[in-house]
Structure 1
Amino acid sequence: MSDEPANATVAGFDPKPVLTRLPHRPGVYRFLDEAGRILYVGKARDLRKRVQAYFRAGIPGGKTEQLVRKVADIEVTVTGSEGEALILENELIKAHRPRFNVLLRDDKSYPFIHLTSQQAFPRLSFYRGTRKVEGRLFGPYPSAGAVRETLSLLQKLFRIRSCEDSFFSHRSRPCLQYQIQRCSGPCVGLIGSEDYQDELGRAIRFLEGRSDEVVDELVKKMEAASKQLEFEEAARLRDQIGRLRHVQQHFATAHRDRGNLDVIATSEQAGIYCVSVVFIRGGRNLGSRTWIPKAHPATAAEEVVGAFIAQFYNGRPIPHEIVVDRDFDDAVLLASALSERAGRKVSIRHRVRGERARWLEQAAQNARHGLDLHIASKAGMLAQLGSLGDALGLGETPQRIECFDVSHTGGESTVASCVVFGREGAIKADYRRFNITEVQAGDDYGALRQALMRRYTRIKRGEAALPDLLLVDGGKGQLGEAVRVLDELQIEGVHVGAVAKGRSRRPGQEQVFLAGRRRPFILPPDSPALRLIQQIRDEAHRFAIAGHRQRRGKSRRRSVLEDVPGLGPKRRSLLLREFGGLHGVDQASVEDLARVKGISRLLAEKIYDTLHPAD
């Protein structure tokens, strides 16, 4: 192969003078186009040798050839070591997002379970944010849903409180969580500090993957309680052990391997890559997530894996071990850089057996499935959900959205609706309607509150999945009501928004208020996110109106005689025949009514009082 530069660059750019002056030192190089935009960022152990390789005659076609044809300038930065070059390379990729690099869409942060440390009765709660926080963090978890599922499981198994301190300190009687056996009631002294700490310790060991130890301890306590004839306590412990063993069967791998590792696999189709990561913490499979990195169609899979790992752990928690589905260049260098960043040894492995091989196969299946979904719905619902997550700054693509609306006519026959959307679109089997009662006519806030309270109380009991995003039709008032309901029920990790019509109330001018944000989002009329919001809002509106009309029609067809206690269908029919219709019954006296067969004097008085309430 010739050392002479090929003439395949932008007209007027001669790379020779630059190439001859490059040092034989480690560093980072940048290729720029005619407009000065960075096309590609790379690192090298020897800058001159690496950059010269791009411009030699006979370079293979594909991505490299297309890149070189657009190069109009070269910049380099010399570093002290190849490891420093690796770190700088990823910082520059993140900052400039060059066209020919593999780019990972940057999610804001991962959710954790947070254990507070400053109270006599610590709480476990959903947490997303900086890791510099008092207490202890467990995770990261792949999604908010995984955190909520684990917290719900912990509440069922150990009944650890999840409420805010302000709520905890002002209780005079147990709340709903205690009534549905999700909390032990420390706020009102129903459990002592020592017993609570014992349960908390078991919850911590469970999160660490040491559930066998917890079961062994509970078995000993159950046997001791039985010997002391404390049969109620023994029965409670027996039930708790049963629930734990059921969970162990669900997470069958937890007792065999307590490692903390991420398992990464890729799948490619038509130049599109999907990367799947399975998160293993304390030997428990916490779930997985998939990414579609932006990469040139001719990019090799090995390059995608290396670039993904380098960018993925830039600012994220680094596990002790990373298992990948293929070897790639610079794996040793990358492991060294990650070890230095984590302050401990981090290994990258691709040849694994046993449990790790099964996890790797699971990651590969997830990658293939994720890629199939991406291709099938690239312009469909998944793209709209992703656009919505980006437009509202949610930090992740919402997988489940619920929207509420209230419908009535002058306060009559009020009905609230709840519609549900997910990756597959409308999930009509999960739709719900709520006939609103005991709320002042026309009180939309009260009606919305009742519907939300009924819906999310059931969700707390495990009757349905919690959404990632809750929308209500209305403005700041409805938004505040929704936030208050979730706070009262101690539900965390759900984004809450309100969809308000614009000043002219025309489609395309909607304002989206998001809890925790002062100013509303005003999305472009052609935004996929806005179209999805409109679709969900309109569906909630349609479902509420249909329910309201059904209820109103039924009430207007309903006879006032149905309100008389003790007057069944047969005697109602007899009265109507006897007096020639409802008007005749209305004109009858108590004595006239009492003469009808089957109508006693007492019942006749009830009928008369119902028909003449003001008399």
Structure 2
Amino acid sequence: MPGVYRYFDVASTVLYVGKARNLKRRVASYFQKDHGGTRIGHMIGRIARLETTVVRTEAEALLLENNLIKTLNPKFNILFRDDKSYPYLRLVSHPFPRVAYYRGAVDRKHKYFGPYPGAWAVKETIQLIQKVFKLRTCEDTVFANRSRPCLLYQIQRCSGPCVGLVSAPDYARDVSDAERFLLGDHETVMTELQTSMMKHADALEFERAAEYRNRISALSRVLHQQAMDESSLSARDKDVDILAVKLQGGRACVNLAMVRGGRHLGDRAYFPTHVEDATAIVGGLEVDDDAVAEPVEPAVQVLEAFIAQHYIGSAPPPQWVTSHAVSRSLVEALSQQTGMKIAVQSNPREQRRIWLEMCEKGADLALGRLLAEEGSQRERTRALADAIDLVPDDLDTLRIECFDISHTAGEATQASCVVYEGHKMQSAQYRRFNITGIIGGDDYAAMRQVLTRRYSRFGVAPVVAQEVSQDVAADAQSDPLTGAPLAAESTGSEEPLVDAALDEPAVAADSEPEAPAAKRSSSARLPDLVLVDGGRGQVSMAREVFRSLGLDISRIVGVEKGEGRKVGLEELVFADGREKLTLPADSAALMLVAQIRDEAHRFAITGMRAKRASVRTGSGSSKLEEIPGIGAKKRAKLLQRFGGVRGVGAASVEELMAVDGISRTLAEEIYRALH
């Protein structure tokens, strides 16, 4: 009876998700012997309840298991960040198609090539397409309104279709050649370019022949730079994924290299979490359903976890090359799910061997770089703890929160809170606070408000928090980035916002005091250290807040700018009365403080600018988006015509009708929505 099982602790937090061909035997195998103080024994000691789901086949169990792993993020499973946002090269549908960089969901309207491992690979390919095939890259609106060729035509990167300098049949032929090149049909493209060159030379059209000669030369250089023998490539080598895994120092790296159209496009490294715990759990099981399980290498476990989590729900290429042999049942399950037969080779020869060696070298370098960075950050954390006499229970769980206030001449005041934990910045826990009910430019009052709202739930004197919340409880401001209304908490409007400069979005943490423990994030823990960007004044304000809440003031440290406000001359100001601390400019502790302080400042600045822009343009932008019949193009035309949302709101129905695509019915709807 195949299925999936899930273990939970007393707080209903999922510990582990697994699959089995025989659920009863697999679950029983966890409890048939004493695992002692091992990792599997530690997990078993925390199990409070079990849930199972029965499925029809082992393939269904595999798919369900990895979907649950990605959704629940269990502590004892190998987890990869779910990032499939690969960029593509897009040929936009048009009588004169343009080539463009694209990231997002694909559709049937346009043609897509890829995916590519990174933005640089797409942009490099676009530059090649411009050099060899001279396809346009300008937007359709620019193309439709050109009266003379642009600079790209002058530097021979475009054939000038916008002003009729190339005929439609000739441009279509260039598009066709570009498509075949992107699909890997290099030889045919080269042959046709050479034929065209000789044709113009025979007709004594030497300038045109020279153009084709230059195209052939550019294309030849690119193909040569791929470091491969084109004659050794077979048809099955056109689209291949190469995967190599490397383990070291308790960390793992899976490096994914992509070959599309016979061209090696580069690679991307992935670093899973919970590697040691997860591999120990699997290695600790002796019974696997029907027979004694053969030991599975940790590297194979990591690689199989990546394949299952990465390729489920996506369209993988038909050929894979892997550094380790993976389970046949895993490949068969993915083949059934994608409807395409996938061939996997773990001991390749010739060109594939070269690709695999390159991928393994990339994994080795990426993991070495990660370990060096983590080691450096760990040393910085230790140096800071030693410098300020901080004695945490566990240095690896040391939590630092840093606050900064940002505004422009008192306008759009916001406070930011960034989090450093586990020797790295935790961007998913960043928070911004709208500051209201204060005199513009009063940074001390802003600091008082944000600290009270942040830490009142930990205090023993909630009355103060209630007094402050009276000024801000009615804060019905909107998200400065999305325009959506913010839900006010009992202590104000602490707002989790998405920051475009971050690799990960800021995810909301349940901050209600009575929330179940399973739903509360690590932000529910009082930090070991609270940094405030400022000197004695800000530290004094923070000390008052902490004392009113009954919290330990020794946690507060101010980062005061030194003489001339020069970087590297900062001093640390302590709320508990200790003397100022001046650290050497090359101090690892000062480097960490500066890193956290600068991140708080950057996060505050981006939020303040977005809020200020929202205030100045009015609140109607989100209303425009909500009007049926107003898409991105019509909204852009309205904003361009009237100079912003306020201009649209001031326009009459007749003026709105003057905009292309706006009918009377729609104009009346817009007018009603904005009034």
Structure 1 length as normaliser, TM-score?
A: 0.59
Corresponding residue for 2:168? 193
- 1:271-313 C-alpha deviation (Å, 9 max, x unpaired): 1111100111111111000011012325222111111110011
- In structure 2, do the counterparts of structure 1 residues 537 and 146 end up closer, same or farther at CA, with 3 Å as the change threshold? farther
CA shift digits 1:152-202 (9 cap, x unpaired)? 121111110111111111111111221222211101101011100111111
Question: Residues 347 and 108 (structure 1 numbering): CA distance in 2 closer, same or farther, change over 3 Å?
Answer: closer
Q: Cα offset for 1:112?
A: 0.3
1:321 maps to 319
1:149 aligns with 2:124: yes
- 2:365 is the counterpart of 1:353: no
Q: 1:216 aligns with which of 191, 195, 204?
A: 191
Asked if the contact 2:242–2:256 (Cα under 8 Å) also holds between the matched residues in 1, the reply is yes
Match of 2:387 in 1: none
Q: Is residue 2:145 matched to residue 1:170?
A: yes
1:339 — aligned with what?
335
1:267-278 matches, cutoff 5 A: 267-278=246-257
% identical aligned pairs: 39
User: What secondary structure does 2:45 align onto?
Assistant: helix
Residue number among 593, 598, 606 corresponding to 1:531 in the alignment? 598
The Cα RMSD (Å) is: 3.4
2:92 — aligned with what?
A: 116
CA distance in 1: counterparts of 2:603 and 2:69, whole angstroms: 37
Partner Cα distance (1:61, 1:381) in 2:
30
**1:377 is paired with a residue of what secondary structure?**
helix
Asked if the contact 2:84/2:310 (under 8 Å) is kept, the reply is: no
| Aligned-residue offset at 1:254 | 7.2
SS in 2 for 1:232: helix
Letter in 2 for 1:317: A
> Secondary structure of the residue that 1:217 maps to in structure 2?
helix
8 A Cα contact 1:102 1:307, kept in partner: yes
Shift of 1:349: 2.5
- Relative to 1, partners in 2 of residues 1:295 and 1:208: Cα closer, same or farther, differing over 3 Å? same
Aligned partners of 2:46, 2:481: CA distance in 1, in Å? Answer: 45
Distance of aligned partners of 1:198 and 1:529 in 2 relative to their CA distance in 1, 3 Å threshold? farther
Secondary structure at the counterpart of residue 246 of structure 2: strand
Structure 1 pair 158–373 and aligned structure 2 pair: CA distance change class (3 A): same
**Structure 1 residues 525 and 290, CA, compared in 2 at 3 Å: closer, same or farther?**
farther
Look up the match of 2:69.
Answer: 93
User: Residue 125 of structure 1: SS of its match in structure 2?
Assistant: strand
Q: Secondary structure at the match of 1:378?
A: helix
Task: Quote the residue 2:521 is aligned against.
Answer: none
After TM superposition, the structure 1 = structure 2 runs for residues 61-460 of structure 1, keeping only pairs within 5 Å, are 62-107=38-83, 109-117=85-93, 119-253=94-228, 255=230, 256-257=232-233, 258-298=237-277, 299=279, 300-328=298-326, 331-378=327-374
Deviation of 1:314 after TM superposition, in Å, equals 2.4
Deviations 1:536-556 (A, max 9, x none): 999xxxxxxxxxxxxxxxxxx
Q: Evaluate the alpha carbon distance shift between residue 287 and residue 100 of structure 1 in structure 2; reply closer, same or farther with a 3 A threshold.
A: same
1:42 alignment counterpart: 18
User: What is the correspondence of 1:458-497 to structure 2 with a 5 Å cutoff?
Assistant: none
Deviations 1:68-111 (A, max 9, x none): 22222211110011111111101111110000000001225111
Residue 208 of structure 1 contacts residue 282 of structure 1 at CA under 8 Å; is this kept in 2?
A: yes
CA drift of 1:325 comes to 0.9
In the TM superposition, residue 515 of structure 1 has moved relative to its aligned partner by 12
8 A Cα contact 1:254 1:284, kept in partner:
no
Between 1:50-59 and 1:283-292, the stretch displaced more is 50-59
Q: Deviations along 1:508-533, whole A, 9 cap, x unmatched?
A: 99xxxx99866986899799687248
SS of structure 1 residue aligned to 2:18 = strand
Inter-partner Cα distance in structure 1 for 2:408 and 2:200:
55
Aligned to 2:428: none
* SS of residue paired to 2:243: strand
Report the Cα distance in structure 1 between the residues aligned to 2:50 and 2:20, rounded to whole angstroms.
14
Return the alpha-carbon distance in structure 2 between the equivalents of residues 134 and 515 of structure 1: 33
Distance 2:480 2:131 in 1: 29
Residue equivalent to 2:32: 56
Q: Secondary structure at the match of 2:374?
A: coil
Deviations 1:9-38 (A, max 9, x none): xxxxxxxxxxxxxxxx00001111121211
2:147–2:163 contact (8 Å) kept in structure 1: yes
Q: 1:82 to 1:525 in 2, by over 3 A?
A: farther
The answer as to whether partners of 2:252 and 2:275 remain within 8 angstroms in 1 is: no
Displacement after TM superposition at 1:506 (Å):
6.7
Q: C-alpha deviations, 1:393-430, integer Å up to 9, x for none? A: xxxxxxxxxxxxxxxxxxxxxxxxxxxxxxxxxxxxxx
Measured in 2, the distance between the counterparts of 1:188 and 1:505 equals 57
1:227-274 residue CA offsets vs partner (Å, 9 max, x unmatched): 111111111111111111111111233734242111111111121111
Question: Residue type matched to 2:4 in 1?
Answer: V
Residue 533 and residue 36 in structure 1: after superposition, are their counterparts in 2 closer, same or farther (change >3 A)?
A: closer
Residue 267 and residue 235 in structure 1: after superposition, are their counterparts in 2 closer, same or farther (change >3 A)?
same
Return the alpha-carbon distance in structure 2 between the equivalents of residues 63 and 301 of structure 1: 18
Structure 1 gap ranges (5+) = 1-24, 385-472, 476-500, 539-615
Residue 67 (structure 1) shift: 2.1
Q: CA separation of 1:132/1:529 partners in 2, compared to 1, >3 Å: closer, same or farther?
A: farther
Identify the range of structure 1 (253-262 vs 228-237) with the bigger mean alpha-carbon deviation. 253-262
Deviations 1:441-495, CA, capped at 9 Å, x for gaps: xxxxxxxxxxxxxxxxxxxxxxxxxxxxxxxx999xxxxxxxxxxxxxxxxxxxx
User: Alignment partner of 1:157: what SS?
Assistant: helix
- In structure 2, relative to structure 1, the CA distance for the partners of 1:534 and 1:153 (3 Å cut) is farther
Return the letter of the residue paired with 1:342: T
Q: Matched residues in 2 for 1:194 and 1:515: separation?
A: 48
Distance 1:537 1:181, change over 3 A: farther
User: Unpaired runs of 5+ in structure 2?
Assistant: 280-297, 381-406, 410-433, 448-478, 485-496, 500-505, 507-530, 534-592, 606-675
The verdict on how the C-alpha distance between 1:381 and 1:155 changes in structure 2, with shifts beyond 3 A counting, is farther
DSSP-derived class of the 2:269 partner: strand
Aligned AA for 1:360? L
Change (3 A) 1:213 1:515: farther
Number of residue equivalences: 395
- 2-structure distance, mates of 1:234, 1:244: 15
1:362 Cα offset (Å): 1.2
Three-state SS of the structure 2 residue aligned to 1:173 is coil
Question: TM-score, normalised to structure 2's length?
Answer: 0.54
CA change 1:269–1:181 in 2 (3 A) is: same
> Does structure 1 retain, via aligned residues, the 8 Å contact 2:90–2:100?
yes
Taking the aligned partners of 2:133 and 2:481, their CA distance within structure 1 comes to 32
Q: Quick check: 2:245–2:255 contact (8 Å CA) kept in 1?
A: yes
Rounded to whole Å, the distance in 1 between the matches of 2:140 and 2:337 is 35
Moved more, 528-537 or 337-346: 528-537
Query: Whole-Å Cα distance in 1 between the matches of residues 54 and 480 of structure 2?
Result: 47
